[in-house]
Chains A and B, each alone.
Chain A
Amino acid sequence: MLDLQGIAKHFGGVHAVDGVDLTVKRGEILGLIGPNGSGKSTIVNLVSGLFPLTSGRILFEGDDISDLPSHARVGLGIARTFQNIRLFGQLSVWQNLWVAQNSRQQRQEVFFKRWFGGSAGVQAEIERTLEFFDLAHKRHELAANLSFGEQRRLEFARAISARPNLLLLDEPAAGMNAEEVDQLDARIRKMRDDGFTVLLIEHHVELVMSVADRIAVLNFGRKIAEGPPAAVQDDAAVREAYLGTR
C-alpha cells in the first residue's frame, strides 16, 4: 500500500532520514521504533507531505505521490497525528472533526451542501466518531480546554474523520497513563479489524510489541532491522542501538 523507496531528508548537515526503504502492506499494523532523533517523525512528515524529499520517492497504492501537496495526500487516504498534539484549539470538539472531513467520497458531495449545509450523513458520521473515542459528552467544548488524554483522542478522531486508508500515528501513547494506553491499544486493534492500515511510531515498547504485526527499527536515519516483533526484540543491532544511546 505504501512504498518508501530510498527516501532521504537532510536538514543542512543533519541526515535526519538517510536512504530508507520501507513497505507498509494493506491491512497491517507496522510499528516503527528507534532511539530519540533517529528520524521517525521525519518519515511521517515526509509521507504526509510537510516538506519535500531530499531524494527517493514515495508510492501510495502504486502511484508516485512524492510531489503532491499535503492536503491532496489526505484526499487520497493518508491521515496522520502529531507527536506534539496540534488541534484547532479555539474550535469546538465537534468543529475539529467537521473541518477534517476531506476524503474523496466526502469531496463528491454537492459543493453547497459540503461547505454550507450540515447533511444528516455528515452529522451521523461525526457522532459515531465521537462515540468511538468517548468524546461525545465534550462535543461543544473548545479543544484547548480538553485534558491531555482527551486531546490525544480528539487528534486521533480528527485523523479518522477524513476516512483514510492509511493512518500515521506519531507516538499516540506519549504522556498517557496505563489505563489510557490499554484503551488506545484496543482502539488501534479495532481500526485494523475495520480495514485500516496503520504505521505506528511508538516509544512505548509494550504497546508496539502487543499490537504491531511487524516492526521496523531506525537508527541515525537508517533502517537497521525489520521483522516480526519477537525477532526484532532479539536482534543484536537493535539491542546495541538502544543500549548504545542510553
Chain B
Amino acid sequence: MDFYLGLAQVIGVHTLLGLSAYCVLLTGQVSLAQAAFFAVGAYVAAILTVIFKWHLFAALGVSAVVSGLTACAVGFPALRVKGLMLVVATLAFGEAVRLFFFNFTYQIQAGELKIGPHGAEGFRQIRYFPEHGWSTFDVLMFIWLMVAIVMACLWWLDQSRAGAVMRAVGEDEVAAHSSGINVTAVKVLAMTIGGVIAGIGGGIFAHYTTHIEHVQFGVILATFAIAYPILGGLSNVFGTLLAVIFIQGFLIEGLRFLGDWRNLLFGALIVLAMNLRPRGFLDAGGVASLKRMLFAGKESSGA
C-alpha cells in the first residue's frame, strides 16, 4: 500500500513539474530550465520551514514567487534565442543552478544538530510533515489538491483569450507579431507562470522526500519535465497528466523487473508513442473524437 501511496505522490509532484513545462511549451519554447526552477522552489521552501520555522503554506507561497522571479529573469535574455539555442541556453542555466546548490551551505545550530543545506551532502532532515503530524495520506491529499488547483487554473487560462494568445505565439511568432501581440512579453510571462508552478512543485517535493541534494535536479529531471507535455500533447492539461502516469507509473515502476533492459525499452516506447501520436497522446483530433463519444448527438459549444 505504501508503495502505491509513494507512487501517487511522485506522480502528483511530477505532474506539477510537467505542467510548468506545458505552460512554457504553449508559447513554442523548449525549456530545459524547469528542473532548476523546481530546485529553487525546493531549497527556498525547505529553508523557510526548517530554519525559519515558517508554516508550510507561507513557505510554498514564497518559493513560488522566488521561482517565478527567477524564471522571469531567465526569460528576458534566454528568449532572445530560439529553438535549439534556447535549449542549450536553458540547459546551461539549469546546470549553473545545480552547481550553485552543490556549493551552497547555509546551516544553523539547532541543539545537538546542525540543520540546513550543506553543499554536496544536500539538505537533510526536512521533517515538517512528521513534526506536524501529517500522515502519508494527508500529504498525498495535499499534493493532489495542489495538482487539481494548478490544473484548474491552467485549464481556465487555456480557455481564455490569454491562452489563445500564448498558443498563437507558439504557432507562428511572425504572424503573432503582425497581429499586434507583444511576443516577448507573452513568452516571458509564460516562463514566469511556469516558474511559479515549478516552484510550488519543488517546495512540495522537498517536504515529502525530506532530503534534497543537487543531483536530483540535473539534466534527467529537466528532460522528464519537457518530455511530459511533449508526449502528452498540448491540446489540454490532461495530456501532461496522462504522460506522467505513463512514464512514472508504467515505464519506470511497471518495468522495474526488467532491470537494465528497462532503459532501452523506455527509449523505444517513447519513440513508438511519438510515432503513433506525433502531436502527443491528446491532440486536437483526439479531443474532438473523445467529445463526440461522450456527448454523442449534442453540439459541442465554446469557442
Residues of A within 8 A of B (CB): 48-50, 69-71, 74-75, 79-80, 82, 86-92, 94-96, 98-103, 114-118, 139-140, 142, 158-159, 161-162
Q: Are B175 and A87 in contact (CB under 8 A)?
A: yes
Q: How far is the CA of A94 from the CA of B164 in the complex (A)?
A: 10
Which of B164, B165, B168, B180 interacts with A74 by CB under 8 Å?
Answer: B180
Decide if B171 touches A90 in the complex (CB within 8 Å): yes
**Assuming the A-B contacts A90-B284, A94-B303, are A50 and B161 also in contact, with contact meaning beta carbons closer than 8 angstroms in the complex?**
no
> Cβ of A50 and Cβ of B178 under 8 Å apart?
yes
Which chain A residue shows the least CB distance to B185?
A: A71
Whole-angstrom distance from the CB of A193 to the nearest CB of chain B? 24
Q: How far is the CB of A78 from chain B (nearest CB, A)?
A: 9
Contact status A80-B181, CB under 8 Å: no
Q: Provide 13 A-B residue pairs closer than 8 Å at the C-beta atoms, listed in order of the A residue.
A: A50-B174, A79-B178, A82-B178, A89-B171, A91-B168, A99-B179, A99-B181, A100-B179, A100-B180, A101-B161, A102-B181, A139-B303, A140-B303
For A116, give its contact among B160, B178, B182, B183 (CB under 8 Å): B160
Contacts of B300 in A (CB 8 A): 140
Contact of A48 with B178 in the complex, beta carbons under 8 Å: yes
Return chain B residues, CB-CB under 8 Å to A118: 161, 303
Question: In the complex, are the beta carbons of B175 and A88 less than 8 A apart?
Answer: yes
A70 to B181, CA, bound (A): 8
Pick the residue among A75, A86, A88 that contacts B180 (CB under 8 A): A75
Is B98 in the interface zone, CB < 8 Å from A? no
**What residue of chain A has the Cβ atom nearest to residue B165's Cβ?**
A99
With A88-B168, A91-B171 as known contacts, state yes or no: A70 contacts B162, CB within 8 Å: no
A87 CA / B178 CA spacing, docked (Å): 11
Answer yes or no: B172 CB below 8 A from chain A CBs: yes
When C-beta atoms are compared, the residue in chain A nearest to B162 turns out to be A115
Bound complex: CA A131 to CA B157 (Å): 28
Give the total number of A-B pairs whose CB atoms are below 8 A apart.
89
Q: Report chain A residues within 8 Å CB of B164.
A: 91, 95, 98-99
Known: A50-B174, A71-B183, A91-B171. 18 other contacts (CB 8 A): A69-B182, A70-B178, A74-B179, A82-B178, A88-B167, A88-B172, A90-B171, A91-B167, A95-B167, A99-B181, A102-B180, A103-B180, A116-B160, A117-B160, A118-B161, A118-B303, A159-B179, A162-B179
Instruction: Check A115–B160 contact: CB distance below 8 A.
Output: yes
Residue from the list B161, B172, B182 in contact with A86, Cβ < 8 A? B172
User: For the side of the interface on B, what is the size category?
Assistant: 20 to 34
From 288 to 303 in chain B, residues with beta carbon under 8 angstroms from any chain A beta carbon are 300, 303
> Which residues from chain B contact A116 at a C-beta distance below 8 Å?
156, 160-162
Q: For A50, list chain B residues within 8 Å (CB).
A: 174, 177-178
Q: Is the CB of A71 within 8 A of B174?
A: no
Q: B157 to chain A: closest CB distance in Å?
A: 8
B156, B171, B182, B284: which contacts A71 (Cβ < 8 A)? B182
Whether A115 contacts B161 in the complex (CB less than 8 A), given A50-B174, A87-B175, A142-B284, comes out as: yes
Give the chain B neighbours of A115 by CB distance below 8 A.
Answer: 160-162, 165
Docked CA distance A74–B179 (Å): 7
Q: With CB as the reference atom, state the residue of chain B lying closest to A93.
A: B303
| Contact indicator A90/B180 (Cβ below 8 Å) | no
Complex Cα distance, B165 from A140, in Å, reads 17
Q: Which residues of A contact B167 (CB under 8 A)?
A: 88, 90-91, 95
- Interface 1/0s, chain B 150-166, versus A by CB < 8 A? 00000010001110110
A98: chain B residues within 8 A (beta carbon): 161, 164, 303
| Among B161, B181, B300: residue with most chain A CB under 10 A | B161
Complex: chain A residue closest to B181, CB-CB: A71
Contact A71 B165 (CB under 8 A): no
Least distance between B226 CB and chain A CB atoms (Å): 19
Chain A residues with CB under 8 A of B303: 92, 94-95, 98, 118, 139-140
CA distance A100 to B182 in the complex (A): 11
Q: How far is the CA of A49 from the CA of B178 in the complex (A)?
A: 8
In the complex with contacts A91-B164, A142-B284, A158-B177 CB distance below 8 A: no
Q: Which 9 pairs of residues, A with B, have the shortest CB-CB distance?
A: A102-B180, A74-B180, A86-B175, A70-B177, A100-B179, A115-B162, A88-B171, A116-B160, A95-B164
Docked CA distance A92–B302 (Å): 11
* A100 cross-chain contacts in B, Cβ below 8 A: 179-180
Q: How far is the CA of A115 from the CA of B193 in the complex (A)?
A: 15
- Which residues of chain B in 175-231 are interfacial with respect to chain A, using CB atoms and an 8 Å cutoff? 175-183
Chain A residues with Cβ below 8 Å from B181 are: 71, 99, 102
A10 CA / B218 CA spacing, docked (Å): 45
Q: In the complex, A162→B181 CA distance in Å?
A: 10
Q: Of all chain B residues, which has the CB nearest A89?
A: B171
Cβ of B178 and Cβ of A80 under 8 Å apart?
yes
**Whole-angstrom CA separation of A101 from B162 in the bound complex:** 12
